[in-house]
């Protein structure tokens, strides 16, 4: 794995949260928090990334992640180009690295990459020029580091001390990069009670998620937790898994208001989206008072601004409202 940090300890690439220290994560969360504004207020803007070009290179569908990377870059004054697989020449057989070298020659400084194949962000990071940064926007089922950071920021806004928390991740853990990045970030931040909850066929291999309690019933899995993180069933990453149909899945694992009562009364409910309402989560819960799902989206822009500001680092000027 390519080294993500520069010699001075700042972030150059963001490919995974797995190897980051608690201090690195906290520094990014602190910086992200400076970019959070209440709904209805004007978002923070600056010229910190003026003259910097960010390319969004997405070969898998995305709504929130792509838009929030774009808004984050623009609010910091960067130029942004968006490449989608239908438009890029990758479909004509050009390799990913040739696309990357082309972008590099066009003075792209930051490449934001989402790809269904494991290892692609790391391959790109290992081959770009020293001034170029690579940010993963979702790598196969392996990792989704900015999602992990925005999830941690959201929890921190509501719960303060990670060392006291119970967090249950519920749903298609096996195919989820969101679950893997959440696992890494919450472990590093010292969460003592981390659980994964899924039907047997959607739990990960036994050697993964070390230290997590594994549950196959929702009620026991979320009992007295502070945070319930629901995940989408990832049909596109499944081969032949033994899965109950949608109605049966909802009757066993769908988060309803009644089921949520098994968690602490002040528990928060999270979901990375897109949501399958009526399959993994009831609308009453998704839109209910314990839901922080829309905060997650807002925090996504703030986290991506913090990451962009740090990777561009001293090439940028000081961020207004930041550090
Ligand atoms: C997730 C993803 O693409 O990994 N979405 C997101 O980025 N918020 C989760 C999903 O697709 O279920």
Query: What are the residue boundaries of the structural domains of the chain, listed by start?
Result: 22-143+299-312, 145-296
Angle at 174 between CA 168 and CA 177, to 5 degrees: 80
Using the mean position of ligand 1's atoms as its centre, give its distance from the Cα of residue 7 in Å.
32
Q: Is 92 helix (H, G, I), strand (E, B) or coil?
A: helix
pLDDT score of 319: 46
Is this structure's pTM higher than 0.85?
Answer: yes
Q: Whose CA is nearest to atom 7 of ligand 1?
A: 65
Same fold yes or no, 22-143+299-312 and 145-296: yes
Q: Which structure tokens are listed for 302? A: 């703030």
Nearest to 62, CA basis, from 197, 184, 178: 178
- Can you tell me which atom of ligand 1 is nearest the CA of 64? 8
User: Within a 13 Å sphere around the CA of 196, how many CA atoms are in the beta-carbon half?
Assistant: 27
**How far apart (Å, rounded) are the C-alpha atoms in residues 72 and 80?**
10
Q: How many CA atoms within 13 Å lie on the side-chain side of 90?
A: 18
In tens, the pLDDT along 174-189 reads 999 999 999 999 999 9
List the one residue out of 90, 93, 79, 94 whose CA is nearest residue 114: 90
For residue 166, the cross-strand partners are 193
Provide the edge-to-edge strand list for the sheet that holds 79-84.
79-84, 53-58, 110-115, 133-139
Give residues (CB < 6 A) around ligand 1. 64-65, 138, 144, 147, 177-178, 232, 234, 272-273
CA of 273 to the centre of ligand 1 (A): 6
Centroid of ligand 1 to alpha carbon of 272 (angstroms): 6
Confidence label for 108 from pLDDT (cuts 50, 70 and 90): very high
**Whether 109 contacts 52, CB under 8 Å:** yes
Class of domain 145-296: alpha beta
User: What percent of the chain is predicted at pLDDT more than 70?
Assistant: 91
Tell me which of 3.40.50.1370, 3.40.50.300, 3.30.365.10, 3.30.450.40 is the CATH number of domain 22-143+299-312. 3.40.50.1370
Find the 234 Cα to ligand 1 centroid distance in Å: 9
pLDDT band at residue 1 under the 50/70/90 scheme? confident
């Amino acid at each position: 794995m390519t080294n993500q940090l520069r010699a001075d300890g700042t972030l150059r690439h963001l490919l995974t949260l797995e190897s980051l220290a608690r201090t690195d994560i906290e520094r990014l969360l602190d910086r992200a928090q400076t970019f959070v504004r209440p709904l209805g207020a004007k978002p923070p803007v600056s010229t910190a990334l003026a003259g910097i070009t960010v390319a969004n290179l997405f070969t898998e569908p995305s709504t929130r992640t792509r838009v929030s990377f774009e808004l984050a870059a623009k609010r910091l004054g960067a130029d942004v180009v968006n490449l989608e697989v239908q438009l890029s020449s990758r479909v004509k057989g050009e390799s990913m690295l040739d696309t990357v070298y082309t972008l590099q020659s066009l003075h792209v400084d930051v490449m934001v990459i989402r790809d269904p194949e494991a290892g692609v962000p790391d391959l790109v990071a290992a081959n770009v020029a020293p001034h170029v940064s690579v940010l993963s926007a979702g790598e196969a089922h392996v990792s989704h580091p900015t999602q992990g950071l925005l999830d941690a920021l959201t929890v921190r806004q509501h719960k303060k001390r990670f060392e006291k928390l119970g967090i249950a991740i519920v749903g298609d853990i096996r195919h989820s990069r969101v679950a893997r990045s959440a696992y890494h970030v919450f472990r590093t931040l010292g969460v003592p009670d981390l659980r994964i909850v899924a039907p047997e066929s959607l739990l990960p291999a036994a050697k993964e998620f070390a230290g997590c309690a594994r549950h196959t019933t929702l009620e026991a899995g979320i009992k007295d937790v502070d945070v319930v993180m629901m995940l989408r069933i990832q049909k596109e990453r499944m081969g032949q898994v033994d899965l109950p149909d949608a109605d049966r899945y909802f009757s066993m694992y769908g988060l309803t208001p009644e089921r949520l009562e098994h968690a602490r009364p002040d528990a928060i409910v999270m979901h990375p989206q897109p949501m399958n309402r009526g399959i993994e989560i009831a609308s009453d819960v998704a839109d209910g008072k314990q839901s922080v799902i829309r905060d997650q989206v807002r925090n996504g822009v703030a986290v991506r601004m913090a990451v962009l500001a740090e990777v561009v680092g001293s090439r940028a000027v000081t961020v207004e409202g930041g550090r």
